[in-house]
Amino acid sequence: MQRCLKYVLLMALLVNFVPLAYAGSDTSTVIMQIGSSQAVVDGIASELQVSPQIKDDTALVPLRSLVEIFGTQVEWNTVDKEITLCQGETIIRLLTERSEAVIEEIVYPLSGTLVVEDGITLVPLRFLVENLNYQVNFIPTTKEIYIKLSPPPNLPPEAQFEILNDTVAQGETVIYTENSSDPDDDELVERKWIGKQRAFFAPGEYEVSLQVKDSNGSWSDPFTRVIRVTDEVKMDELTYNLNYPVSGQPLDMTDIPVLELKKLDPVVILNQEKVMISNSPETVPRAGVLYRDVLCGENRLYYHHLNGTNKAIKIYLLAVNQGSQPVTLEVKRWGVAGPADPLAVGRMAAYRFLDSKPSDMQYLAVQPGETLVINKGALNDVNPGQTIHGIFGINASDDLQFNVVAVSSPWQLDNLEKLPLLTHDGKHIRGTFLRANRNVALRLNTKEPTRLVVADGEDDLFLYGKDGEQLTRNKGNYGLSYSIAIRTKYPVGVLFSARGGVFAGAGNWDGKAFNLPNQGSLQSKAGCMIGVVEPGEEKVLEFIPPAGSYLPVNLIFIPF
């Protein structure tokens, strides 16, 4: 009620200064001048019934015609000397002799007295401004008043959901039906669930809450319901996820003896594609070239850096044509993320790279002597302490020099060759590594659980490469692309197990990208679901070890 009232008053005030022919609900700006009967409404000159005036240091403006154009009824009580404004269910009483307004039985003092001139009532502008929250700018030299219409205050959305059965057995699917709404009819753009699970696997009472955010950035209050889980067991957690697989769904793998499972020895096919990695110095101390190399053909470019300076920088990925002929550069796939924290950008860039579509491919021509920015769409300011990450799959028709450069100003790129090559930090990975793709073929013919070890340096060897003339090793195989094709004699569930430490990455299962895990991150020895392979079909997992996460990992295969 109060919001409706305020909106009516605001609209009324703004249009009262002009004849009805010019006024309207879409009026955005009114310019008045003290003592002048002329006003300008959205650029159109209009005649006022009574000039605005100042009395006792209070600006007064006319009232009646403006409120009536918006359908507000105006009544004058000659006995009580009150003006009543009625708009729908909203009633405003102006007490002329007491200079007060009554709104929903609350009395508000007016900043000045009401004035009647030639039968036209003028009301204090200040009271309306203070209560209706729109912008007013007064120019003392010209005595002009600029009034800009402000929208009514945004009301927060209301979160709500129903549960088909709020008492369920363990392993029974919980059906949620959301019916959140927004009183302003704004779009709901984000949802934050806490405690929501497809099924529960231990008896007890569980709170599930939801908050929603509207397109104006307002969050709702949490809406909470309680689910009671009985002692009855329909399915355990593993069985449930094998029957209803969701890629990335976290799993309790406490009862799976991962390291005791038989290790698979698959067929692995390598290719000659290289991956150029710029991750050292991981913490950038100053402007300079972080890494550079000359590449031709199909390769992968990878950078991951944290701003260790005391000011904002940008990280550029550049292609330089040092030859005498144009070079065609295809940017086939890419994923960029940041600035953010290292774990978050590692996950996001991997997801975006694995989610790339052929339609996203870019064709670029690099002319002789030209320096081309490859990551032009990702040149965000990286503030101190923030991390940026990018992965690009490229194909160059001839030699190009690729540079990863940190600068605080674009003009520093004009003297690219004079920028210093920053020193390797001795801990993180930098270099160009051969055989950056591993195509793995798995044929599963046993009913026993098995595992595939990824990126441990023994069962799955690390890449070797060079940083200039220095031999280097890629511990963790970051930037390497695994394509794991799985065929099976029996139905098999494919699980993911983090073994080296905290992990947050992404994969592509059967042509669809997903987060690993799809909620939060995995701690060491924790796991999540990837999918199910049925007999007679082949499914492919594509995986890139994500920056910021710990390796190795294991893939677990559970026949059922």
Tell me the CATH number at 99: 3.30.457.10
Query: Residue 535, preceding bond cis, omega within 30 degrees?
Result: no
The verdict on residue 155 lying in a domain is no
423 with 283, same domain: the answer is: yes
Query: Rounded to two decimals, what is the model's pTM?
Result: 0.76
> Which residues fall within 8 angstroms of residue 141, CB to CB, at 6 or more apart?
none
* Cα four-point dihedral sign 512, 513, 518, 522: positive
360 with 486, same domain: the answer is: no
The verdict on residue 240 lying in a domain is no
80 with 185, same domain: the answer is: no
The verdict on residue 72 lying in a domain is yes
Mean pLDDT value of segment 152-170? 94
pLDDT for position 416: 92
The verdict on residue 545 lying in a domain is yes
462 with 541, same domain: the answer is: yes
φ/ψ of 125, rounded to 5, equals: -70, -35
Give the separation between CA 179 and CA 183, rounded to whole angstroms: 13
List, for residues 525-544, the tens digit of each pLDDT value. Answer: 899 999 999 999 999 999 99
Domain final position from 370, 396, 428:
428
The verdict on residue 33 lying in a domain is yes
Helix/strand/coil (H, E, C) string of 436-486?
A: CEEEEEEEECCCCCEEEEECCCCCCCCEEEEECCEEEEECCCCCCEEEEEE
260 with 278, same domain: the answer is: no
Q: Is the pLDDT of residue 81 over 50?
A: yes
pLDDT band, very low/low/confident/very high, at 101 (cuts 50, 70, 90): confident
Mean pLDDT value of segment 33-50? 83
284 with 319, same domain: the answer is: yes
The whole domain housing 367 covers: 274-428
339 with 261, same domain: the answer is: no
Percent of the chain at pLDDT > 90 equals: 69
Distance of CA 440 to CAs 267, 269, 270, 498, 507, Å?
6, 7, 9, 19, 15
Let me know how long the chain is.
Answer: 560
Please provide the average confidence, as pLDDT, over all residues in the chain. 89
Mean pLDDT value of segment 70-77? 70
Q: Which of 75, 71, 53 is nearest to 62 (CA)?
A: 53
pLDDT band, very low/low/confident/very high, at 495 (cuts 50, 70, 90): very high
Region of poorest pLDDT, from 27-41, 79-93, 178-192, 342-356: 79-93
262 with 279, same domain: the answer is: no
Pairing of strands 387-407, 450-454: unpaired
What does 176-209 look like in DSSP terms, one character per residue?
EEE--B-TT-PPEEEEEEES--S---SSEEEEEE
Contact 377, 336 (CB under 8 A): yes
Domain final position from 211, 235, 259:
235
Contact 499, 554 (CB under 8 A): yes
pLDDT band, very low/low/confident/very high, at 111 (cuts 50, 70, 90): low
492-504 burial: b if 16+ Cβ within 10 Å, else e: bbbbbbbbbeebb
219 with 306, same domain: the answer is: no
Contact 206, 216 (CB under 8 A): no
The verdict on residue 156 lying in a domain is no
* CATH number where 178 lies: 2.60.40.10
Higher pLDDT, 392 or 146: 392
The tokens 């990280």 sit on which residue? 315
Contact 447, 488 (CB under 8 A): no
The verdict on residue 548 lying in a domain is yes
Most confident of 9-18, 72-81, 306-315: 306-315
104: left (phi over 0), alpha (psi -120 to 50) or beta: left
Mean pLDDT value of segment 99-126? 78
Region of poorest pLDDT, from 90-99, 159-168, 326-335, 410-419: 90-99
What does 139-150 look like in DSSP terms, one character per residue?
ETTTTEEEEEPP
pLDDT band, very low/low/confident/very high, at 413 (cuts 50, 70, 90): very high
Domain final position from 395, 428, 461:
428
266 with 278, same domain: the answer is: no
Q: Is the pLDDT of residue 274 over 60?
A: yes
Please state the domain count of the chain.
4
263 with 286, same domain: the answer is: no
List, for residues 420-460, the tens digit of each pLDDT value. Answer: 999 999 999 999 999 999 999 999 999 999 999 999 999 99
Q: Using CA atoms in the order 488, 482, 472, 554, what is the torsion angle rounded to 10 degrees? A: -50
* CATH number where 450 lies: 2.60.120
Higher pLDDT, 255 or 71: 255
pLDDT for position 382: 96
The verdict on residue 69 lying in a domain is yes
346 with 451, same domain: the answer is: no
